[in-house]
């Protein structure tokens, strides 16, 4: 599989800024911890100036929504995508928290996604989806959607519920949804596709020889992928960002950063020219490595 992209149009608007690090200490390669408020403001300013317009957050990201509400300026034109509490809290609690998200943010949200896709597969799934439809119809959220893992069957859920947005993991290391055709089928349904974990929680950027004990099994495959990327004359960041943005099915690539420097590096990487290369050879075929929740 050769990745190509149209370099005549700006790519920064297709980058979305993830905010989980604004609310909690998150990421296997994150050694800096939760991002300080002052750095959040700098990151948002850099994002806005660069043309990034999507912010991705969630009720479960600690105090990320509150941090955003305090850091955003009135002239910041961002489309904010947030996510629900798990249905295990009860439908009424899900609704209360969704409304509180808007209070924390201090501005309208472009979309709200079901955070735990399996909630929609259960018996109360239709009631949960009905709640989101009602919130959308009331004008509280512009669009509604689903955040899913590969194992959740995102295409099946999309066919059942017809969401506006589906968010899924996808990266140069995790190409399963490309290989099985689900990305293309989701696009045929008219769904806007947001992809996350494009660095596989930062694993792609780590030294294969210095992985934590719970990830040593990933070392050989990671080393092989990094060697191929180096042979192609690319940095891991440029390869990760470039590969994802080369996929026509991916509307938004969500990235998480802990500093404005990291964001600037990603934005610069998005402009890198991709060589002719067999990117499929970089894919890892190991469900354990590709499922961060099992690390």
pTM of the predicted model as reported, rounded to 2 decimal places: 0.93
Please report whether residue 212 resides in a domain: yes
Q: Which of 164, 200, 166 is nearest to 284 (CA)?
A: 200
Q: What is the percent of the chain where pLDDT is above 70?
A: 94
Read off the tokens for 68. Answer: 């955003």
Residue 150's CB: how many other CB atoms inside 10 A? 17
Mean pLDDT of all residues belonging to the chain = 93
* CB neighbours of residue 55 within 10 Å: 26
Alpha carbons 114 and 292: distance in angstroms, whole number: 19
What are the φ/ψ torsions at residue 46 (nearest 5 degrees)? -65, -45
Question: Cβ distance 186 to 249 under 8 Å?
Answer: yes
185 vs 149: CA distance, rounded Å: 16
Tell me, yes or no, whether 213 lies in a domain: yes
Q: Does residue 76 belong to any structural domain of this protein?
A: yes
Query: Residue 1 falls within a domain, yes or no?
Result: no
Residue 269: enclosing H or E segment and its boundaries? helix 260-269
| Full domain range(s) for residue 253 | 12-294
Q: How many domains does the chain have?
A: 1
Residue 110 located in a structural domain = yes
Half-sphere exposure of 19 (CA within 13 A, CB side): 32
Predicted confidence (pLDDT) per residue in 4-46, tens digit: 545 444 578 899 999 999 999 765 554 567 999 999 999 999 9
- Spatial contact of 226 and 173, defined as CB atoms under 8 Å apart: no
Tokens of 112: 């709200």
Residue 5 lies inside a defined structural domain of this protein = no
Give the CATH number of the domain where residue 97 resides: 3.20.20.100
Find the range with the poorest average confidence among 132-141, 240-249, 258-267, 286-295: 286-295
What pLDDT is attached to residue 294? 85
């Amino acid at each position: 599989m050769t990745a190509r992209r149209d370099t005549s149009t700006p790519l920064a608007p297709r980058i979305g800024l993830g905010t989980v690090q604004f609310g909690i200490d998150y990421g296997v390669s994150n050694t800096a911890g939760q991002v300080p408020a002052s750095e959040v403001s700098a990151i948002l300013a850099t994002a806005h100036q660069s043309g990034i317009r999507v912010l991705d957050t969630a009720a479960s990201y600690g105090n990320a929504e509150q941090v955003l509400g305090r850091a955003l300026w009135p002239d910041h034109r961002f489309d904010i995508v947030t996510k629900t509490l798990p249905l295990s809290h009860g439908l009424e609690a899900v609704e209360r928290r969704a409304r509180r998200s808007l209070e924390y943010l201090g501005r309208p949200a472009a979309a709200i996604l079901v955070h735990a896709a399996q909630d929609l597969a259960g018996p109360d799934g239709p009631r949960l989806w009905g709640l989101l439809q009602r919130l959308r119809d009331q004008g509280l959220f512009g669009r509604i959607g689903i955040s899913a893992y590969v194992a959740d069957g995102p295409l099946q859920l999309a066919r059942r519920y017809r969401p506006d947005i589906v968010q899924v993991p996808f990266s140069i290391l995790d190409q399963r949804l490309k290989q099985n055709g689900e990305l293309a089928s989701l696009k045929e349904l008219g769904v806007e596709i947001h992809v996350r974990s494009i660095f596989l929680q930062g694993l792609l950027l780590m030294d294969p020889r210095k992985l934590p004990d719970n990830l040593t099994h990933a070392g050989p495959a990671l080393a092989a992928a990094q060697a191929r990327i180096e042979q192609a004359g690319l940095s891991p960041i440029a390869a990760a960002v470039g590969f994802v943005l080369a996929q026509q099915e991916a509307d938004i690539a969500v990235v998480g950063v802990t500093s404005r420097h990291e964001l600037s590096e990603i934005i610069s990487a998005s402009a890198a020219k991709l060589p002719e290369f067999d990117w499929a050879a970089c894919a890892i075929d190991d469900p354990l490595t590709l499922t961060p929740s099992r690390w």
